Chain A
Amino acid sequence: MAKYSIFSLLRNARDDHQNWPRVWRSPEPKDAYDVVIIGGGGHGLATAYYLAREHGITSVAVLEKGWLGGGNTARNTTIVRSNYLWDESAAIYDKSLKLWEGLSQELNFNVMFSQRGVLNLAHNQHDLRDLSRRINAIRLNGVDSEFLTPAEIKAFCPILNTSPKARYPILGASLQRRGGNARHDAVAWGYARAADARGVDIIQNCEVTGIRRKGRKVVGVETTRGVIKTGKVASVAAGHTSVVAAMAGLRLPIESHPLQALVSEPIKPVLDTVVMSGLVHVYVSQSDRGELIMGAGIDAHNSYAQRSGLHTIEHMMASIIELFPLVSRLRMMRQWAGVVDICPDASPIVGKTPVEGFYINGGWGTGGFKATPGSGWAFAYTIANDRPHPLNEPFALERFSSGRLIDEHGAAGVAH
């Protein structure tokens, strides 16, 4: 892998950038691999990377039905944080956050991870109580989290409407300073490049259409580019997790919904943190390009179509103006939707399945971008050792029959 740096940039500028190597090869699929990963999103690519990096398993193919990173990786609002309520969540999200902190250097690809902080707002006594509970739990889990008063919020994020006369006045907020944003595409590309350099085959335009089993064991996958033999199939298909699982004969407790997002036209910096409100229901940050990027709740209906509409974003706009009255004259430049896979407890499924050799990493729903490194790391361990890592053990499929749920709905409000 040719190293990226200011020096390589200078060197290449001399010959007009004619000699930059490819970021990843574009190999034809081989007949067989040790591990086949379905889904070339961030999680799938991270899984492949850590399989090679941590476990020396390099006979790995990542099969992507479209273009690499084109699913939710390309569509999310890029909020990264680890201030989750439950111990199990805190552990895996904070592992992820720690990996984020060195990811650009690890991958030698600038993923532009910026710890500009994440504010979660409280608007009434109920919110404040929940916030206090969360801040305490998060702090005692060894994760950073602090409370800000309205005056401190105003100082930290001046454009927020902290007037006590607001319809839903801001009474307080939690702040995780280590949280922030990253550049979503760069995460996919960076992992892809680094995995490719370690021998992983990344195969785009290759849709998995079937999973072959012999008895209770996986033996291969059928794809639009032929059959591939393998003993281990890992589904990392996000919005299509239940579709892929059905190919292995499994029914998952997952529902897929559209989730919409939009950006404004680029403007000069006004917002240097991430602001989330569960009650007013919107979350927003400003990209390095100057766009305000924002999202809200899922569309109520189930769908696999990545279609946006007006009804959800009209409400989103009302919410954002409630929080930031001065955005009213900005303009929406682009809107879109992704398909998110939601478990009943709003926590993911990462682990083994009743089908031998079939592993699932999905159900991250509206909030899995932040988990990309940690999820890939733990999932790679699970695949390599055929047993879950303690980090993802609680996120097993069995929890839906045992009832040991990790309910991040209840107290989390917005789970992005």
Chain B
Amino acid sequence: MSRQVNRRPEGGRIDRDRSLGFTFNGRRYTGFAGDTLASALLANGVMLVGRSFKFHRPRGIFSCGAEEPNAIVQLGAGARTEPNLRATQIELFEGLEAASVNCWPSVEFDAGAVSDWFSRLMPAGFYYKTFMWPARFWPQYEYVIRHAAGLGRAPAEKDPDRYEKFHVHCDVLVAGGGPAGLAAAFAAGRSGARVILADEHSEFGGALLGLGAGIGGKPAIEWVESTVGKLRGMAEVRLLPRSTVFGYYDHNDLGIAERVTDHLGPAAPPGPPRQRLWKVRAKQVVLAAGAHERPLVFADNDRPGVMLASAAQAYVNRYAVRPGERAVVVTNNDSAYQVALDLDDAGVKVAALVDLRPAPEGPLADALRDRGIDVLGGRAVVATSGGRRVDAVEVGRLNDDADRIVGGTRRINCDLVCVSGGWNPAVHLFSQSRGKLRFDAAGACFTPGDSYQAERSAGACNGAFRLADCLAQGLAAGAAAARDAGFRKGRAPAAPKAPEPEAAPLRAVWRIPLPGDRARGAKQFVDLQHDVTAADVALAAREGYAAVEHLKRYTTTGMGTDQGKTSNVNALGILGQVTGTDIAGVGATTFRPPYTPVGYGLLAGRDVDHLFDPARRTPMHAWHESVGAVFEDVGQWKRAWYYPRGAESMRAAVDRECLAVRNSVGIVDASTLGKIDVQGADALELLNRVYTNAWDTLKPGRCRYGLMLGEDGMLFDDGVTSCLGENHYHMTTTTGGAERVLAWLEQWLQTEWPRLKVYLTSVTTHWAVAAIQGPNARRLLAELCDDVDLGAFPFMSWRDGTVAGIPARIFRVSFSGELSYEINVPSSLGVALWQALMTAGARYGITPYGTEAMLVLRAEKGYVVVGHDTDGTVTPQDLGMDWIVSKKKKDFLGKRSFARSDTARPDRKHLVGLLTEDPREVVPEGSQIVEEVRPAPPMPMGGHVTSSYWSAALGRSIAMALLVNGRNRHGETVTISLPDRNVRAAVTKPVFYDPEGEKLRA
């Protein structure tokens, strides 16, 4: 276990009493509670943490937050391992294990680094220009590319953790809990508004946590603590630390990812979810997301030890870690001066502060000089040297246009280079909200322009970089947001004072020129994660990929896991420079959600495993299970498919079930059938509009079969609808079509026929349905029902009655061609009914049958199943069902399409029966009928087999097919092409059993 060599003796927001052991790349270290993995590594003197994507160059910790491009690690092992996390955001816990990604065998000695030698052959987009010859080698080339790419590894097991979602409304959502966000939440909260304040860090305070600044004459951190305390006291304010507002969608719909237990590691208690997704609908939004410091682009600016100045500052102040021993600070603006002072306070030797601006003046510069720190004005770091860590920088003088280095360069030894190229407001959420950005020339950055949604930006994300401005903007935005959300009292409290010296303007230099003797070849990185250099940007522009989106896509700038937080603006600046336009003219790419990556598991929430799409089961499901039924999925339903007895095969079981129905009585669970209660003065009118046949004559107590068509005239659904009374009908649909039909009817009612007075209610699961079918069905029913006159209960009618003591609605309809009763009882009584029928039916050998037998029985009768024998391209006429299409009705859905020439064609595909020459041959459903047999495809096809079964009743196979001009081809023999042979079959009428329907009406 190594000592924390770089830990300052005191200070920092860490808990020195809680020392935490962890391993990185197999080595053991310790840190403290309050550390991130990055700060703990730095404390232990570990700077080299990763390798770059393309050239495998050594990379160190570069930032201290979400913008980190380099320090990407694989966290943990086994089922809980997670790839591609940023060490700068991982809170340290006891037992944490992490490893560098994308390097082999180790981060110190990475074999992939040979690619750096060939980097000249790998400029931006090189792969578009090569790997084309010979063409058949592409899979090999690609194999190498694919295996070189990718960062971490996916776990090999299922995720053991749980994720939850909250759906909430609020008046004001404040994104970001730095000074501006805290002030905004405070001002809004005071008004009584429901406020949510979310911040991605473990504690509120934002940049103040890493600064030594003061507010109202006290250390800023005291103001933070007192403000958070006040917010805690407000009943309507909800504070969400460790919560990233990651997406800003339409209508002020925002997504927040809360990390509930990630920071606890294996010590996480079992109760709470690992993470929680907050879906927030906010009346008003205040964006206070802060800003990211921008690096400077100079040669070999990627060496470990090169770090954002503000990050170095946060490491010394917040984490009490010295990220180096001897620092050079290089900046184009004032903010890094305080960094140099803080480093010096922390005992880091500041070798020099290099300022791109010619004559650095003012109290900060004086303070540095007073401490004997060199302030080198008008100069820049042009390059670094070193191996796996920077050991020196080369400093040169910039000319007035900043496009040349004049004179020689000077070498300054150091192991830390703190860079500041100015600040980029975190406009991500603003841009996602659809707001347009504008370029602020003074800050050389993009700031929010006009808002598109009910939103306002405050503080650094709004381009306000001085603390006092952040506080004032935050208070004003919070108060205004509350007011706009309807809270009158929303007046901004006065902003506390936060003195800061006047800031001098920055000097934007997008790319530090190379000294004249080395005009080319050096790598000046723009995008650290994707190894994109300034030369790549220039190449893209030269080749014509000068639109910002082309630049991004061609060079892959900003397409890494950091989404270019430190690279995009520099790339745009350089593009502007090489194309001779200013950056404002170049424009920015749109920011796509999420702000930082969001877990798949989190987005899925609880909708996994059996809750992915909860299975629907009928009230009799447990009974079916108890007798060993095999189930099939039909839509969301689990339906009994067949009931094997002992070792019976499926075929044997289905044969037995079918014969029982044909010869005595069978029972099938038909509860899944869609059922819609239709009521209202215009109920009949609705039926007339959506069904092809006429409904006016349907009397109470009677049932009628109907077809529904789409507007294109194609079969959409079918079912039996019964008249329950005046203006009251019971409609049934197919099992799979239940939701679709209801939605379709509602769509018509709500958008096209709003004047119709009809009310639809799904009653599918209100009823349990047992259908008894077969010649003994009436006898069986008679034993259990004595209040219905079964003699005066004709086919296609229904009766209210009592079956086995249960109030029931009995329909005499049939899908098997046998005498049949569908007995509907309230769901909760389904099992009782079923058991009573089974008991009473024992003497008839009552046989439960499943969906397979049901399909065979109906096919024997030539009844079609929508979606089985039809596919959205079949008209009633194609099925030979002209009889059900009213010639008299003025209109119904789909009627007009019958007039279309193709729909009216007499030689469309028609439903036919098929009898194979070999009666034992059951051809697979989905087989194609070929019109001409050729030795090999292509072969012209005339149709396909839609249904195909062994019919036990007929002792042979039967099939139905859709066949071109089939109606006129009865008697013909056709060829069915199977992958390995051909089968011949005779075309027949699609009715095989009891064509006259005598049994049905018996």
Contact = CB atoms under 8 A, between A and B. Distances in A.
A binds B: yes
Given A318-B608, A330-B599, A185 B941 contact: no
Contacts of B608: 318, 321-322, 325, 328
B123 interface: yes
Interface in B892-947: 897, 900-904, 924-928, 930, 937-939, 941, 944
A335 B590 CA distance: 12
B82 A67 contact: no
A327 interface: yes
Interface string B967-1000: 0000000000111000000000000000000000
A134 B712 CA distance: 23
B129 A288 contact: no
A313 B593 CA distance: 12
A189 B547 CA distance: 13
Interface in A116-143: 123-126, 129-137, 139-142
B496 interface: no
B563 A334 contact: yes
Interface string A81-124: 00000010000000000000010110011101111000000011
B116 interface: no
Interface residues of A, number: 106
A159 to B, nearest CB: 8
A326 interface: yes
Contact of B713 (A21, A124, A315, A403): A403
A210 B466 CA distance: 50
Contact of A167 (B80, B126, B613): B613
A137 B941 contact: yes
Interface in B703-758: 712-714, 736
Interface in A373-416: 399, 401-405, 407, 409-411
Given A136-B926, A329-B159, A267 B154 contact: yes
Nearest to B257: A331
Contacts of A307: 249-250, 434
A17 B937 contact: no
Contacts of A26: 544
Given A132-B924, A403-B900, A167 B609 contact: yes
A411 B871 contact: yes
Contacts of B131: 110
A186 interface: yes
Interface string A300-320: 000001011110011101111
A333 B596 CA distance: 7
B350 to A, nearest CB: 36
Contact of B129 (A9, A319, A321, A326): A9
Nearest to A314: B603
Contacts of A110: 127-132
B269 interface: no
Given A16-B521, A17-B535, A140-B937, A318 B612 contact: yes
Interface in A129-187: 129-137, 139-142, 167-168, 183, 185-186
Contacts of A264: 597, 600
A273 interface: no
Given A17-B123, A110-B132, A329-B155, A140 B928 contact: yes
Contact of B594 (A8, A74, A335): A335
Contacts of A141: 937-938, 941
Given A20-B539, A110-B128, A265 B604 contact: no
A136 B928 contact: yes
Given A110-B132, A129-B926, A140-B938, A74 B539 contact: no
B553 to A, nearest CB: 5
Interface stretch (B143-151, B235-243, B298-306, B388-396): B143-151
B504 to A, nearest CB: 37
B132 A108 contact: yes
A4 B125 CA distance: 12
Contacts of B873: 405, 407, 410
A402 B900 contact: yes
B120 interface: yes
B122 to A, nearest CB: 9
Interface in A327-385: 327-336, 344
A108 to B, nearest CB: 7
B386 to A, nearest CB: 24
Contacts of B139: 114-115
B359 interface: no
A265 B612 contact: no
B633 interface: yes
Contact of A331 (B142, B553, B600, B712): B600
B78 to A, nearest CB: 11
Given A129-B868, A402-B901, A267 B150 contact: yes
A310 B253 contact: yes
A53 B561 CA distance: 41
Contacts of B714: 407
Contact of A21 (B543, B599, B605, B868): B543
B897 A328 contact: no
Interface range, B side: 35 or more
B615 interface: yes
Nearest to B75: A329
A199 interface: no
Contacts of A250: none
Nearest to B594: A332
A320 B126 contact: no
A272 B147 CA distance: 11
B900 A265 contact: no
Contacts of B442: none
B867 interface: yes
B155 A140 contact: no
A321 B600 contact: yes
A270 B154 contact: yes
A243 B506 CA distance: 47
Contacts of B249: 307-310
A265 B83 contact: yes
Contact of A332 (B545, B600, B904, B924): B600
B112 to A, nearest CB: 13
Which of B80, B127, B553, B941 has the most chain A CB atoms closer than 10 A to its own CB? Answer: B553
Nearest to B548: A67
B168 interface: no
B601 A321 contact: yes
B498 interface: no
A42 B891 CA distance: 44
A70 B597 CA distance: 24
Interface in B72-119: 80-84
B166 interface: no
A289 interface: yes
Contacts of B599: 328-332
Contact of B549 (A13, A67, A313, A344): A67
A333 B545 contact: no
Contact of A137 (B151, B597, B944): B944
Nearest to A325: B158
A328 B278 CA distance: 18
Contacts of A6: 130, 133
B640 to A, nearest CB: 13
A329 B603 CA distance: 11
B778 to A, nearest CB: 32
Contact of B82 (A17, A329, A332, A401): A329
Contacts of A185: 553-554
17 contacts: A6-B133, A8-B129, A16-B521, A20-B539, A110-B131, A115-B139, A133-B926, A136-B979, A167-B613, A288-B145, A310-B603, A321-B600, A329-B601, A334-B593, A399-B902, A404-B902, A410-B871
Given A140-B928, A328-B161, A334-B592, 20 more contacts: A4-B132, A17-B539, A108-B132, A110-B127, A114-B139, A114-B142, A125-B633, A133-B926, A135-B926, A267-B150, A268-B153, A288-B142, A289-B556, A314-B605, A320-B600, A326-B154, A328-B601, A329-B155, A329-B159, A331-B598
Q: 4 smallest A-B Cβ distances: which pairs?
A: A290-B150, A132-B926, A403-B900, A410-B872
